[in-house]
Amino acid sequence: MEENKCPNSCVDCGTYNCGTGDKTYPPFCLTTGMDQKLMDEVMELYAEEENRKIMVAAAVVEHEHYCQLTRLQETMEFAKKIGAKRIGIAFCTGVANEARIVTKYLRHHGFEVFGACCKVGAVPKGDMGIPAECSGGATGSVGCNPIMQAKLLNEAGTDLNILMGLCVGHDSLFYKYCDGLCTTLFTKDRVLGHNAAAAIYMANGYYKKKLFD
């Protein structure tokens, strides 16, 4: 195991007093050591109209539906709160059926929906510079095309984009090139049925050897 060269941060804290205020902050706390200039810059960003609308909408959805609605339902309520009309869906072809169900759900509630699947454009992997050994077999010879997905949703003028099951890294490129607001409905985990958190919940039990050996 390599030595961690980063300074201690929130991931090294066991108190999380920033959310409760009833404990002692650790000496490396990012809250107590906060650069006031940085805090002022961030607060100015929250004061911008669009950012404030998003933060308020998220807070209202959480407050009104805490532990009552599913992520799918919360996503729709959030879309309503921000006044979104056209929803973009960037999805993996492996969850195309799930994307159709989400589309049906959103259209049922009055939203316009425009989707782009990961293989759109049918570009061979080799044309993207992907090594030949990564082509064919279970993963196929056509490459995922997250940049094109982002560009197509940009052109469609979507107000909010929902990611469904894009591969690790492909989602990163989608976020990089997408102009609009994005949220993730679920992440891909082929082993755990798209429940990536399960590996973490089992990290001290059944998955300990898988993760730490």
pLDDT in tens, 86-138: 999 999 999 999 999 999 999 999 999 999 999 999 999 999 999 999 998 99
- Asked if 87 contacts 160 with a C-beta cutoff of 8 angstroms, the reply is yes
- Asked if 30 contacts 9 with a C-beta cutoff of 8 angstroms, the reply is yes
Whose CA is closest to 92, among 156, 139, 159, 127? 139
Q: What would the pLDDT profile of 145-199 be if each residue is shown by its tens digit? A: 999 999 999 999 999 999 999 999 999 999 999 999 999 999 999 999 999 999 9
pLDDT band for position 213 (50/70/90)?
confident
pLDDT band for position 4 (50/70/90)?
confident
pLDDT at 15: 92
Q: Hey, what are 195's tokens?
A: 């429940």
Residue 94: CB atoms within 10 Å: 15
pLDDT band for position 3 (50/70/90)?
confident
First CA to last CA distance, the chain: 10
Whose CA is closest to 95, among 144, 132, 142? 144
- Asked if 73 contacts 106 with a C-beta cutoff of 8 angstroms, the reply is no
124 forms bridges with which residues in the sheet?
142
What's the helix, strand, coil split of the chain in %, to 5? 45, 10, 40
Chain centroid, CA 20 distance in Å = 26
Contacts of 127 (CB under 8 A, 6+ apart): 143
184 forms bridges with which residues in the sheet?
163
Q: What would the pLDDT profile of 16-28 be if each residue is shown by its tens digit? A: 999 999 999 999 9
Whose CA is closest to 117, among 77, 90, 83? 90
Whose CA is closest to 104, among 94, 93, 113? 113
Domains and CATH numbers, the chain: 84-213 (3.40.50)
Give the integer Cα–Cα distance in Å for 91 and 28.
40
pLDDT at 87: 98
pLDDT band for position 56 (50/70/90)?
very high
